[in-house]
Structure 1
Amino acid sequence: MFLPHQIVGDQLNKQFDANVRTNFFRGMDFAGPVGDPGWFGPGSAVWHVHSHMPALVFGLQCAAFLERLDPSIYWMGVHHSRLVKPETKNNPMPEIDPQGFWARLGHSVAFFTGTAYGSTPTAERLALAVRSMHHTIKGTRPDGARYDADDPEWLRWNYATVVWGIATAHELYHPQPLRGKKLDRYYGEFVRVGHALGGTDLPATKQDTLDCLKSYLPRLAVTYGAAMATGPGLPIPLAALNWAVRDTMPSWAKGLIQHRDPNIVERTARRATVWSVINGWHAAAGPLPEFAEATARVADGIDPDLAPHTVPAYQPGSDPVRTRTELEDAFA
């Protein structure tokens, strides 16, 4: 007999397969070459954290909410992604495009799964695709301020929000979470991804990440996107998800959006409900296929010519210059 949270989990899994895995995991190699550990390899903290797909997806939503408190990132998303409807890209109050939402989520999940478990060539290809897209994201906000996705300050903020969102979701909702020094190991390993995307001076522990995020507070604001995704009046399913996302935010960020934590009893009950949904989805999905393929790839040992993991090969400034159209054709 299925419990309600198991039914929800099964529905979420079917929707994820139909909208994300089928469309965005194409062309990634997890099964070979035999003996290639990829960027992290077996036994790494990243392999453990990213093996729980629902917690990873939730963590990426937490990161997206936090990162768009930076007005420049908010307008980068409006102007250069499929997240909003084309006719509203210059509107201060753009409308979300449901297909665009799935496309953005799909690309993000594929990237953080592929760089975790994919072969070294797969991880390198994914990083090149994201860097190349970033090179094309330059423009002007409606208030006249310029933005550039290759700006080291932007890359650092974006990186910190992502690693914080994923790691915090893992702490709260993974059935076997890493904590303390073991979790700091995750932060330290994940820096490889940030470097592969061109980031510099990146935080490598939980505390360093918190300090990094807080240092950006003077330049942050409650953007339209953040305002419309929070507060009263949201449909019940969205309100529940929204609360869980805000619950993962640092205390100063909660203050920025005027979020107040409930008492400890209510907060524990709410987290238990979210835990049931996330892990119901995980139970319905079963073991992550990509993790299983990567495990089999190194089951007979790691290629003796390779280290326990490979290091991203990107050298800043070495990418060829390509147009957005050329990139979409190359990485379709």
Structure 2
Amino acid sequence: MFSPIETLAKVPGALTKASSTKDPSYKWPRVPLIDTRRKVAEKYGRAEDYGFFGPDSVSWKVWSHSSSLILGFVRSVTIEHLDPNLTAAVVQSGGVKYRTHTRYGRTMAYFSQVTFGASRPTAKAADVLVKVHSKAIGTDPVTGGRYDANDPESQLWIHVTAWHSILYCYEKFGGGKLAPAEELRYWDECARAAELQTIDPDRVPRSRAEVVAYFEEKRPHLASSEAAVDMVKFILALHVALPPTMSRWQRAPFLPLTFILSKGVIATYPKYMRDLLAIRQGPLVNAVAIPATWAVHQVIERSFVLKYFLMSVLSPQALPSAIPAVLGVEAEKPVTTTPREAQARYGYDVPREAHLGFRAKQYQRVFDDGQAPSEEGLVESQEHIGAM
């Protein structure tokens, strides 16, 4: 992930291929123009079940909107860098700058699984993710303390920031403000999703007021650094998430879109966050960027072909779990469950208690022996979250 949800180290050979291959004959995704929905539905098939939320959930309504595809996601992963420990983990991994497209796709794949995916593969992906996070440990150069991507409070910061940003952008650029009852359901579903991470679900805000209180609680602990500013400015150049094999002319049509959306993201930051991140954008630019960003999402949302094309380009790894939900394809078993029920059913530990022995060995390798952490979880994750 752009954040410690997937802090990836360099895998021998993978980085070289991702950063050095320039294939001018990048092939655009095949997007059928006739009977699109039927053909796409047949391609991805039916989910085993409705996972943890289902078609009547507020999560499906909000997360399936095009505003979550780029804007909500980018808003969350940039704001997250105000946690010094997270920035240290991201910089340590190196993957954001050298495998941006892959990192974006794998992150979206995981979020898509959590929101839309069937319970069995999602429970497995969450279990493997604990092992992936176990290698994101080290010493934060800003605070001098140790960081651990499996730390419950670090995971909570990522989780709340993501769910808040997705909802914020949906309300501002997408479907408008949720009804009070829907919003309460949304935050209840947010707490349910937290059971897939090392978070204590009781710490998850359950209302807009509690979310505001959470950010106020975190504000004194937020800090910027040269590394954080550098990473945020890099991510805000949204075209960096395009496939690296695209030629210059293939990238050209996306540049006006990424420019508008980048300004739209910045327009959503509170002033104190813009100040911390050394970002300057005046009210005049905001006044243009906000309606322009809204208009872009209205166009995308009215065309399934366009939405499907953008998803295919930016995050094809997310399509298998997202498309059946977006198209309303009935699951083989049209039922939902909870993460705790799924973990018990499929034989996985609660994430806070998962792979404790493996995590202890990682600590020993890094902090006692001065070695690089094992990449066992990283390798295993490719089958469940997507290849690197």
TM-score bracket, shorter-length normalisation: 0.7 to 0.9
Q: Could you tell which deviates more after superposition, 41-50 or 138-147?
A: 138-147
Cα 1:245–1:199 change in 2 (3 A) is same
Cα 1:167–1:80 change in 2 (3 A) is same
Q: Which residue of 2 aligns with 1:110?
A: 109
What letter matches 1:245 in structure 2?
V
Give TM-score scaled by structure 1 length: 0.73
Q: Give the distance between the partners of 1:269 and 1:103, measured in 2 at CA.
A: 31
Q: Which residue of 1 aligns with 2:156?
A: 156
Consecutive unaligned residues of structure 1, counting only runs of 5 or more, are 1-13, 18-28, 84-95
Q: Specify which structure has the higher proportion of helix.
A: 2
Corresponding position: 1:246 with 2:260: no
Correspondence 1:70-149 to 2 at 5 A: 70-83=83-96, 96-97=97-98, 100-143=99-142, 144-149=144-149
Corresponding position: 1:274 with 2:274: no
What letter matches 2:63 in structure 1?
H
Corresponding position: 1:298 with 2:335: no
Q: Could you tell which deviates more after superposition, 204-213 or 106-115?
A: 204-213
| Count of paired positions | 284
Q: Give the distance between the partners of 1:275 and 1:145, measured in 2 at CA.
A: 41
Q: Which residue of 2 aligns with 1:7?
A: none
Q: Give the distance between the partners of 1:120 and 1:253, measured in 2 at CA.
A: 36
Identify the match of residue 223 of structure 1 among 199, 222, 225: 225
Q: Give the distance between the partners of 1:162 and 1:142, measured in 2 at CA.
A: 25
Cα 1:69–1:274 change in 2 (3 A) is same
What letter matches 2:80 in structure 1?
E
What letter matches 1:203 in structure 2?
P
CA shift, 1:225, in A, is 4.3
Identify the match of residue 285 of structure 1 among 294, 297, 307: 307
User: Is the Cα contact below 8 Å between 1:57 and 1:109 reproduced in 2?
Assistant: no
Corresponding position: 1:62 with 2:75: yes
Q: Give the distance between the partners of 1:277 and 1:225, measured in 2 at CA.
A: 31
CA shift, 1:175, in A, is 3.6
CA shift, 1:251, in A, is 4.8
User: Is the Cα contact below 8 Å between 1:39 and 1:123 reproduced in 2?
Assistant: no
Corresponding position: 1:311 with 2:331: no
What letter matches 1:219 in structure 2?
H
CA shift, 1:292, in A, is 5.0
Q: Give the distance between the partners of 2:79 and 2:170, measured in 1 at CA.
A: 16
Residue 269 of structure 2 aligns to a residue in which SS? Answer: coil
Residue 297 of structure 1 aligns to a residue in which SS? Answer: coil
Output one character per residue of 1:155-188: Cα deviation in whole Å (capped at 9) or x when no partner.
2212221111111111112245534332232122
Residue 56 of structure 2 aligns to a residue in which SS? Answer: coil
Cα 1:206–1:225 change in 2 (3 A) is farther
Cα 1:226–1:318 change in 2 (3 A) is closer
CA shift, 1:82, in A, is 0.9
Residue 136 of structure 1 aligns to a residue in which SS? Answer: coil
RMSD: 3.3
Q: Give the distance between the partners of 1:185 and 1:140, measured in 2 at CA.
A: 38
Q: Give the distance between the partners of 1:202 and 1:81, measured in 2 at CA.
A: 30
Cα 1:122–1:184 change in 2 (3 A) is same
Q: Which residue of 2 aligns with 1:186?
A: 186
Q: Which residue of 2 aligns with 1:206?
A: 208
Cα 1:249–1:15 change in 2 (3 A) is farther
Output one character per residue of 1:120-158: Cα deviation in whole Å (capped at 9) or x when no partner.
112112212322212221101234322111222212212
Q: Give the distance between the partners of 2:278 and 2:208, measured in 1 at CA.
A: 24
Q: Give the distance between the partners of 2:355 and 2:299, measured in 1 at CA.
A: 42
CA shift, 1:111, in A, is 0.9
Residue 39 of structure 1 aligns to a residue in which SS? Answer: coil
Residue 46 of structure 2 aligns to a residue in which SS? Answer: coil
Consecutive unaligned residues of structure 2, counting only runs of 5 or more, are 1-27, 32-43, 239-254, 312-318, 344-348, 360-372, 383-388
CA shift, 1:247, in A, is 2.2
What letter matches 1:32 in structure 2?
A
Q: Give the distance between the partners of 2:29 and 2:83, measured in 1 at CA.
A: 30
Q: Give the distance between the partners of 1:16 and 1:72, measured in 2 at CA.
A: 41
Q: Give the distance between the partners of 1:15 and 1:222, measured in 2 at CA.
A: 39
Q: Could you tell which deviates more after superposition, 164-173 or 312-321?
A: 312-321
Corresponding position: 1:31 with 2:46: yes
Q: Which residue of 2 aligns with 1:25?
A: none
Cα 1:221–1:130 change in 2 (3 A) is same
Output one character per residue of 1:206-265: Cα deviation in whole Å (capped at 9) or x when no partner.
22122212212222222224434459xx898566434322222345434534667755x8
Percentage of matched positions with identical amino acids: 22
Cα 1:176–1:126 change in 2 (3 A) is farther
Residue 31 of structure 1 aligns to a residue in which SS? Answer: coil
Give TM-score scaled by structure 2 length: 0.64
